[in-house]
Amino acid sequence: MGQRPITFLRQVVALCTYPNLLDSPSFPEDAKKRARRILQGCGGNSLGAYTASQGINCIREDVASYIERRDGGVPADPDNIYLTTGASDGITSILKILVSGGGKSRTGVMIPIPQYPLYSALISELDAIQVNYYLDEENCWSLNVNELRRSLNEAKAYCNPKVLCIINPGNPTGQVQSRKCIEDVIHFAWEEKLFLLADEVYQDNVYSEGCQFHSFKKILYEMGPEYSNNVELASFHSTSKGYMGECGYRGGYMEVLNLHPDIKGQLVKLLSVRLCPPVSGQAAMDIVVNPPVPGEESYSQFIKEKESVLNNLAKKAKLAEDMFNKVPGVHCNPLQGALYAFPRIFMPSKAIEEAKAHKMAPDMFYCMKLLEETGICVVPGSGFGQREGTYHFRMTILPQIDKLKILLEKMKDFHIKFLEKYA
């Protein structure tokens, strides 16, 4: 998509991979310092050795320091940090230890609709029970506790709801949860004794004025010991999103709070089965949580690259929102964060009938027509879940601005012709 890698991250991983480069004058000293520290934490000073199942100790310490800085001094214990093969691996591991029972006692996992399909696939794979709660599209995809309560109470008739998943900022919906919303969710989880999963991989991707990322961990602590000592919380971050976009390294971490010591022992055992996360991914994660700081040689280039990526994404988020809302029969909520637009599309009844004749969901039919006629590939909303009778698609905002403008114009022309054809 044309986004350039962050130089400092690639330098450190290169130095770790081929330590002979530590003698090269081509690399800055602050990158060498980080590479040496990571290599000292590796068996045999090599990225090719297995690490501890939880990940390299010094990287887990760096993650804990990052969380403390991010959350304004709220303490973080490296022993609660687990390095993972991207955030997906952490989410999988936690769900594995939470799913149990059979019949009506089978674990229910509450997920937002629309959702990131990792969740529905994983729930299906683990033979757990998917419990849907709907985000409020009319109010910018906000999360309403009354809807959580409705969903939970209905689910109790057929399963044992134990887990509540939150994606913040949202995928595919791009909303950023307010502080009040997070407080309400934590209170609800405390009241109902639910295990909270906070998927926070887009925490660097916040664009809208007046929006701010609040971590569940920080709000949990600020609500006082009654909550912070009792609510079980696992939160996730990754090298794949943010300003980094380093999906292929498969780097991530999770912080797990208030887990019973016996369960913690089982989690470590479970993680030991997969030996350890990719060590190059662990090194990449370290740079995300331990970037150059003011006064260091690489700081000015790093901050320039980081801000350039995030400022560009903010422009693209606004561009996509504005252009979609100019198209008749399309409505797009503000893209407050993350990397996607999830516009709602009006589908004429003739188009819905033709989709049924092809045995396709109406929005799948729309997306296939778009692909065939323009070459543009988007994902139908039915792949993420949506309220009955509404139709959407998800599109990434990653293309470069000049390409994105052309793409959005093509989509506009296609949609107008589509409405005319099926009017």
Q: Evaluate whether residue 4 is within a structural domain.
A: no
H helix count then E strand count, the chain: 15, 12
* Gap between the Cα atoms of 368 and 378, Å rounded: 9
Query: Does 351 share its domain with 283?
Result: no
Query: Does 284 share its domain with 311?
Result: no
* Gap between the Cα atoms of 116 and 127, Å rounded: 18
Residue 3's pLDDT band, with cuts at 50, 70 and 90, is confident
Average pLDDT over residues 62-72: 96
Query: Does 223 share its domain with 311?
Result: no
Tokens standing for residue 248: 């292929």
What CATH number should be reported for the domain holding residue 172? Answer: 3.40.640.10
pLDDT at 342 over 90: yes
Q: Collect all residues with Cβ–Cβ distance below 8 Å to 255 and sequence separation of at least 6.
A: 63, 67, 76, 80, 81, 82, 217, 233, 234, 235
Residue 405's identity, in one-letter code, is: K
Range of the domain at 128: 50-289
Task: Output DSSP code: residue 143.
Answer: -
Q: Evaluate whether residue 221 is within a structural domain.
A: yes
* Gap between the Cα atoms of 28 and 46, Å rounded: 21
Q: Evaluate whether residue 42 is within a structural domain.
A: no
Last residue of a domain, one of 259, 289, 319: 289
Q: What is the DSSP string of 111-136?
A: EEES--THHHHHHHHTT-EEEEEE-B
Domain count, the chain: 2
Average pLDDT over residues 168-190: 93
Q: Where are the alpha helices (DSSP H) in 223-348?
A: 225-228, 261-273, 279-289, 299-324
Please give the model's pTM, rounded to 2 decimal places.
Answer: 0.91
Query: Does 102 share its domain with 151?
Result: yes
Query: Does 116 share its domain with 190?
Result: yes
pLDDT at 128 over 90: yes
pLDDT value at position 59? 95
Last residue of a domain, one of 267, 289, 311: 289
Q: What is the DSSP string of 383-415?
A: GT---TT--BEEEE--S-HHHHHHHHHHHHHHH
Other beta carbons within 10 Å of 296:
17
Average pLDDT over residues 206-219: 92
Q: Evaluate whether residue 14 is within a structural domain.
A: no
Sign of CA dihedral 400, 403, 404, 405: positive
Query: Does 325 share its domain with 265?
Result: no
pLDDT, tens digit, for every residue of 249-306? 999 999 999 999 999 998 999 998 888 999 999 999 999 999 999 999 999 999 999 9
Query: Does 281 share its domain with 318?
Result: no
Query: Does 174 share its domain with 306?
Result: no
Q: Among 292, 378, 307, which Cα is nearest to 341's?
A: 378
pLDDT value at position 413? 94
pLDDT value at position 115? 87
Query: Does 122 share its domain with 228?
Result: yes
pLDDT, tens digit, for every residue of 308-340? 999 999 999 999 999 999 999 999 999 999 999
Q: Collect all residues with Cβ–Cβ distance below 8 Å to 176 and sequence separation of at least 6.
A: 168, 169, 170, 206, 208, 211, 212, 213, 336, 337
Query: Does 377 share its domain with 397?
Result: yes
What CATH number should be reported for the domain holding residue 322? Answer: 3.90.1150.10
pLDDT at 186 over 90: yes
Q: Evaluate whether residue 172 is within a structural domain.
A: yes
